[in-house]
Amino acid sequence: MKIAVVSPEAVPFAKTGGLADVAGALPKALSSLGADVKVFSPKYASIDEHTYRIETVLPNLRVPVGNGVEDFSLKGCRLPDSEVEWLFVDSPEYFGRDDLYVDKKTGQDFPDNDERFLLFCRGVLESLKALGWKPDLLHLNDWQTGLIPAYLRSVYSQDPFFSETKTVFTIHNIAYQGNFPSETSKKLNLPADYFYPAAGLEYWGMTSYLKSGIYFADLITTVSPRYAQEISSSNEFGCGMEGLLRARRSDLHGIMNGIDYKVWNPEIDRFLPFKYRADNLEGKRKNRLALRKQMGLPNPRKRLPLIGIISRLASQKGFDLIEACSKELMKLDLQMVVLGTGEERYQKLFRSLRRRYPRKVGLKLGFDEALAHRIEAGSDMFLMPSRYEPCGLNQLYSLKYGTVPIVRKTGGLADSIEDYDPESGLGSGFVFEEYSPEALLGAVNRALEAYRNKERWEKLMRYGMSLDFSWEASAREYLKLYQRLKRNPEPVAVESQSCF
């Protein structure tokens, strides 16, 4: 199959979150299973053309934006570890900025994000035609790609080039929707009836790119089975799109993300000072010592667990719970290392904890890829108390590194972590269900109690390290969906148009 994966970001080129990891790993897994894969992303200023040997593939391409026309070029490269071709829609005016989505001067989204990703969506379709490469399937990711199914159903509906092309639209986090003022509708050159109440792009008087993807795509996926259930069942998780998702429930599928064990594997991890494996954990002990030193923490005389946190610092991630019970946490026999950036409220919280408890808390505000790997390897436990979590990747990384997850029972965390039972010795981590600081503290205390028995703890570590969350299994599930679409040539109909 010819598969075009379209994503606003992808590792190793550009990343703000887990979407980039997925868009970097899934195409390689699909290619290894025999698919012909090309990946399309914007060419951001942060992408170093020299490092990746990016060259111009097609110059002088054009797409309509509103009443005007915008020029762009298509650039591309290949990486040495796969047959995937990486292609970039290059418009310096729209993408040659110092951030992917947010103006650093104001801290707000770029005001022309609607035009930027309109150009990206139309640019991908025009690039495919200019390349003469007919995809069997377009795998689209998040709101930034949501206009593509609408264009295929309208502007390109009579174009024989796309007559057999199907679309799969993946929701990585439904809270990010790409909702713009109603005036945006005039820029898109789409049929006027798409913008009537309850139609394909209208959402509470706004123009919604996410709704377009959900409404017009042939199939919809999200990144874990439980998250698919959650977003189609309640406003708390569906963020206003639950009605439309319920109407399309038969076309909504949850497929658990995988991880790339060529990158996240303590036996070969290039960022680790000491490699290790399940049958020889000495390297993990040495990594713990090195991590404490790097984060300015003393090495305690007694055996004391180190809890890692790597995250965007936001309420969604459960940091309001940590804030509420921070005094109680600091009374426990533990140390904590934190890597992340986000809301000033939580940056202030961890700066305060670091200042007040310098022997217990290590902190780096920002993103550091090497340190992220070292935290996974050097920590004993990994804390993810998320309010909601579509899939989560760090709990999967943690399992592979023998770092026992402490998680809330939601989304992909619920799908991937089995609560530890000290009686039977079964389970892979510590799970709490109620969204409360008391429940979080309870899970941490259960983990600390288990940690005191070194033999049982190492058995728990080794069990997690034995689990397989590689991308191959997930890629096979995606291929099954793609093949379903190939067997069903008719467009998927939406029975109900209402989101509300």
pLDDT in tens, 16-56: 888 998 999 999 999 999 999 999 999 999 999 999 999 99
- For 351-395, write each residue's pLDDT tens digit: 999 999 999 999 999 989 999 999 999 999 999 999 999 999 999
Domains 2-258+472-487 and 282-468 share a fold: yes
- Paired strand residues for 86: 39, 77
Closest CA to 334 of 325, 346, 343, 345: 325
pLDDT at residue 492, rounded to an integer: 42
Q: From CA 326, how far away is CA 305, in angstroms rounded? A: 17
Interior angle at CA 8, CA 4 and CA 9, nearest 5: 100
Per-domain boundaries in the chain: 2-258+472-487, 282-468
Has domain 282-468 been given CATH number 3.40.720.10? no
Residue 199: Cβ within 10 Å count? 15
pLDDT at residue 16, rounded to an integer: 87
2-258+472-487: CATH topology is Rossmann fold (3.40.50)
Query: pTM for the whole thing?
Result: 0.87
pLDDT at residue 236, rounded to an integer: 84
Residue 500 has pLDDT above 80, yes or no: no
- As a whole number, the mean pLDDT across the chain is 94
Q: From CA 475, how far away is CA 393, in angstroms rounded? A: 16
Residue 344: Cβ within 10 Å count? 11
DSSP 237-270: HHTT-HHHHHHTGGGEEE----B-TTTS-TTT-T
Question: Which residue has 């606003």 as its token pair?
Answer: 8
